[in-house]
Each structure stands twice: as C-alpha cells, then as structure tokens.
Amino acid sequence: MNFLETVREPVKFDMTPMIDVVFLMIIFFVCIDFRVLESKLPAFMPKDKGSRTTVVEPQEQLVVRVHPATPGTPVYAPGAGPDRLDPETRRPFRFQLQGHQVRWEVGPRSFEDQQALLAELRRIAEDPESQVPDKATGRTKLIPVVVEAMPGTYYADVAQTMDACHEAGLREINFGGSAGTRR
C-alpha cells in the first residue's frame, strides 16, 4: 500500500470530546451558585454627594447628622467573640449592642428620641418653605436630605434615620461625603 492510497480514505471526526465539553458546561451552569450572581445586582443605595471634585452650583439641602451618644458594648453569643470567625460563613460573628444610643441633629436642633426626630422631619416635609427648585423638571420638589453619619455610628443607625426620613415623606435621601472617615 502506498502513501496516496492511505490519504484518500474518508476522514471521520470524533464527536466524543465535543459532547464531553457540552456536558461539562451543562453541569457547570446547573451547579453554579446563583447567590454570587445576585450579589452583583444593583442595590439602589443613596449616592455620595459630598466627595465630588467637580464644581457644582450649591443646592439647598436638609442635613441630618447621626452622632453616637453612647457607644454601647458588643455582646456576643456563647462561644463567639470579636476575634473569632463563624465556621459556617467564615465571617466575624454577629453581636448585639447593649447601651448604644444615638442622637440626631437636624439643622440647629438636636434629638435623642427617634419619634421626636420623625415629628421634626414631618414638620419640615409639610412646610411649604421646604420646596426647592428642581432643575430637571423646572418645577419645585421637596428638599433633598443628606444623612451624615459621624464616627462611631453603625449601619443600623443610618438605616433608622433613612426610614424616618422616608416615613416623613422625604424621598430624595443621600449620604454625606467624609464625615464618617475623620479620625
């Protein structure tokens, strides 16, 4: 048999590797942890308006500062502690704060009770003087709120403040820029 006779035989493709790859891809997409994908969805959190470097025209806004009145003491479950990780999640253990209290400043007024804060925010929201021009629509809108968390506050404190603003009818809520980063 010479070389030319062996070359003229029909070529047969082996489909087994391609089928193996397709099955591996199916298994990969079935077993993927979709919680990772969920974490990449947008959360629509308030935007930081205090750290821009561009020059913008001043905008009238209501500043609500959150100060820790008493820092509180973290209390962990038995077997947990500040220097240990949860073996299930590989994250620090959760804790509850005992004795943690905050106070709020709305303009020159200070509040230590969340209900008093809510009453003040409602009063401001109902005041016709709280309407400011809206450059996007040309009409007026309710004054935007900037929540500034001072060092020592927790996310729960900021969330309570945002809830109070929202319950009072103030819908445009933003975060202050650098108040929480000073030492």
Same domain as 32, residue 98: no
Same domain as 67, residue 157: yes
- Number of domain units in the chain: 2
Q: Residue 52 domain-assigned? A: no
Same domain as 75, residue 26: no
Same domain as 74, residue 126: yes
Residue 67 β-bridge partners = 103
Q: Residue 11 domain-assigned? A: yes
CB 49 within 8 A of CB 92: no
Q: Tell me how far apart the alpha carbons of residues 43 and 161 are, in angstroms, rounded to a whole number.
A: 18
Query: From residue 145, how far is each of 27, 96, 106, 120, 159 by CA, in Å?
Result: 49, 29, 10, 13, 14
Q: What is the pLDDT of residues 52-85, one digit of tens each?
A: 677 767 778 889 999 988 888 888 888 788 888 8
Q: Tell me how far apart the alpha carbons of residues 126 and 146 are, in angstroms, rounded to a whole number.
A: 18
Same domain as 69, residue 157: yes
Q: What is the pLDDT of residues 119-135, one digit of tens each?
A: 999 999 999 888 888 88
Same domain as 156, residue 111: yes
Q: Tens digit of pLDDT per residue, the chain (183 long)?
A: 555 555 666 777 888 888 999 999 888 877 776 666 666 666 666 666 666 677 767 778 889 999 988 888 888 888 788 888 888 888 888 888 888 899 999 988 999 989 999 999 999 999 988 888 888 888 888 899 999 998 888 888 999 999 999 999 998 888 886 554 443
The residue segments making up the domain with residue 26 are: 3-38
The residue type found at 74 is P
Assigned token pair, 120: 């003040």
Question: What local confidence, expressed as pLDDT, does residue 49 receive?
Answer: 61
Tally of CB atoms within 10 A around 126: 11
Q: Tell me how far apart the alpha carbons of residues 159 and 176 are, in angstroms, rounded to a whole number.
A: 14
Same domain as 76, residue 140: yes
Same domain as 33, residue 92: no
Q: Residue 46 domain-assigned? A: no
Same domain as 98, residue 29: no
Q: Residue 7 domain-assigned? A: yes
CB 10 within 8 A of CB 106: no
**Angle, helices 155-168/114-126, rounded to nearest 10 degrees:** 40
Question: What local confidence, expressed as pLDDT, does residue 181 receive?
Answer: 44
The overall pTM is greater than 0.85:
no
Q: Tell me how far apart the alpha carbons of residues 15 and 88 are, in angstroms, rounded to a whole number.
A: 43
Question: What local confidence, expressed as pLDDT, does residue 180 receive?
Answer: 47
